[in-house]
Chains A and B, each alone.
Chain A
Amino acid sequence: NAGVTQTPKFQVLKTGQSMTLQCAQDMNHNSMYWYRQDPGMGLRLIYYSASEGTTDKGEVPNGYNVSRLNKREFSLRLESAAPSQTSVYFCASIQLAGSNEQFFGPGTRLTVL
């Protein structure tokens, strides 16, 4: 039982490049989330998926797209990376009918030059 996994752990991009951050959970959770955490700050919600087949914008969705590929996987795509997107990205999941705890992945540290 790996919990929430994220790939890659680290990534450096040049301005304008695109990439996809992968997230998967093996806990059969319904809801999944993507957050970004800038230095010295809290987590800001980018997008979330309340259930398989649905996605919704969070607080800071601009510049990102998401795909809830199936119940396990929720990916975050940067189509044209900008230096302002340099951050640590966390994926998280919860099981609505069970524990109230939100389980987090280890994070992806992204630098855009």
Chain B
Amino acid sequence: AQKITQTQPGMFVQEKEAVTLDCTYDTSDPSYGLFWYKQPSSGEMIFLIYQGSYDQQNATEGRYSLNFQKARKSANLVISASQLGDSAMYFCAMRDHTGGFKTIFGAGTRLFVKA
């Protein structure tokens, strides 16, 4: 069965420092995708980054990178050079071929960036 776990309810980081948000997953499907979304206080869901299970390299998008460790079933998000605007909820998600591309989300991590 699909499962996504985010164990950090809240995280603090100093402005300009890097921070890692944890995500572990479970699936029996060898083909799957992992996603990170940002939800600011305004409520919209903003796509950040995607990693496919067969991708050889870790995904990067600007200041965001995904530390993909397949054997450990982890897909941690690394934000470099944190900015005040990075303060938000961050959700990890997974999609596999179970039941027609069903996508499930973790409980989220609230990130606070301190000036």
Chain A residues engaging chain B, CB cutoff 8 angstroms: 31, 33, 35, 41-45, 48, 50-51, 54, 56, 58-59, 88, 90, 92, 94, 96, 100-104, 106-107
Report if A41-B107 is in contact (Cβ < 8 Å); known contacts: A54-B100, A96-B101, A100-B33: yes
Q: Mark B86-108, 1 if CB is under 8 A from A, else 0.
A: 00000101010001111111111
Q: Check B91–A43 contact: CB distance below 8 A.
A: yes
Residues of chain A with a CB closer than 8 A to B6's CB = 42
Q: Check B44–A56 contact: CB distance below 8 A.
A: no
Task: Pull 21 A–B residue pairs with CB atoms less than 8 Å apart, ordered by A.
Answer: A35-B105, A42-B105, A42-B108, A43-B91, A43-B93, A43-B105, A44-B105, A48-B101, A50-B99, A50-B100, A50-B101, A54-B100, A56-B102, A58-B102, A94-B103, A100-B35, A100-B50, A101-B47, A101-B50, A102-B93, A106-B44
Number of interface residues, chain B, beta carbon within 8 A = 22
Q: Check A107–B33 contact: CB distance below 8 A.
A: no
Chain B residues engaging chain A, CB cutoff 8 angstroms: 6, 33, 35, 43-45, 47, 50, 52, 91, 93, 95, 99-108
B4 (CB) vs chain A CBs: closest residue = A42
A to B contact number (C-beta, < 8 Å): 62
Q: Check A90–B45 contact: CB distance below 8 A.
A: yes
Residues of chain B with a CB closer than 8 A to A90's CB = 45
Q: Check B103–A102 contact: CB distance below 8 A.
A: yes
Nearest-Cβ distance from residue B46 to partner chain A, whole angstroms: 9
Nearest-Cβ distance from residue B24 to partner chain A, whole angstroms: 14
- How far, in angstroms, from A32 to B91 measured CA to CA in the complex? 19
Residues of chain B with a CB closer than 8 A to A56's CB = 99-100, 102
- How far, in angstroms, from A103 to B47 measured CA to CA in the complex? 8
Residues of chain B with a CB closer than 8 A to A103's CB = 47
Known: A42-B105, A56-B102, A102-B95. 4 other contacts (CB 8 A): A42-B106, A43-B45, A59-B104, A104-B45
Residues of chain B with a CB closer than 8 A to A58's CB = 102
- How far, in angstroms, from A33 to B45 measured CA to CA in the complex? 14
Report if A88-B100 is in contact (Cβ < 8 Å); known contacts: A100-B52, A101-B50: no
